[in-house]
Structure 1
């Protein structure tokens, strides 16, 4: 099985396991070419695996304009079985190390206010809440707020 297919399966499983990722369980369309393109074009992408099984990933995208090129927007997803084992911390540390080596100044993300485990992880890693995006997500018919969080690296 190809790397892209494994990665797509990880994302699809995350869509089913959690309400905290962007896609709903039946929303992600499999397109091998698009997944390969996503992998190849990512500024930063790292997966966590154990015994050949993907357990989670982190991605980081630089700002595309001169005024925000110093900023990296990140997405982190971990399967239920992988949570609480230090993988989220390890993935964030790898992203931060890469960002520092690339002279990035700012890491940023959004997290649903009800996602307490993720919020605790980000706060442990010294991310600060900058604001609240009110009713930014609609999950199972309910509007949910998100926190905008960031970490300044230097």
Structure 2
């Protein structure tokens, strides 16, 4: 049974391990395999989560099965008065758990948080070739607003991304 909850500070190490596993499991996350470990630390992640998530500024929810974190969604709220009503979304779900409704539940829970916190615009990017994720986002109300040409360099090639948003 999948359980959805806020990330507790005592689970930071487990969350760090999930992020690193996702980096190796898919080409669709921002980091290359092992790049996260080279560019940031567990302590930096902990401080970020304490400063932004635990304080209620940003949204971070994890999905667990048998106490193992299997996915997450994070919304980082705009930091300025002019974009405080927006949030940028990142989602990651272990391959074994995709297609089981976790993403849809994450987005439903995110919508509730956003409405409670006066967020009216949710936005994200997705590689144009990632049809599975694009379909999930469209199913949950996101629309393509544009294409970011050659915005990523993956496996030796430049790839385009869709810029997608949802107005609540």
TM, length-normalised to structure 2: 0.88
Structure 2 residue aligned with 1:16: 24
Structure 1 residue aligned with 2:88: 73
Structure 2 residue aligned with 1:101: 116
1:101-128 Cα distance to aligned partner (Å, 9 max, x none): 0111100000000111100000000100
Query: Equivalent of 2:45, from 8, 31, 35?
Result: 35
Map of 1:1-150 to 2, 5 A cutoff? 2-29=10-37, 31-40=41-50, 41-42=52-53, 43-150=58-165
* Deviation for aligned residue 1:31: 1.9
Q: Structure 1: which 5+ runs fail to align?
A: none
1:26-76 Cα distance to aligned partner (Å, 9 max, x none): 201262211211222231100011001111100011111111111011100
The DSSP-based 3-state class of the residue aligned with 2:35 is coil
Q: Structure 2: which 5+ runs fail to align?
A: 1-9
Backbone CA RMSD of aligned residues: 1.0
Divergent runs of 4+, >2 A: none
**Equivalent residues, number:** 152
In structure 2, what is the Cα distance between the partners aligned to 1:109 and 1:32?
25
In structure 2, what is the Cα distance between the partners aligned to 1:108 and 1:28?
23
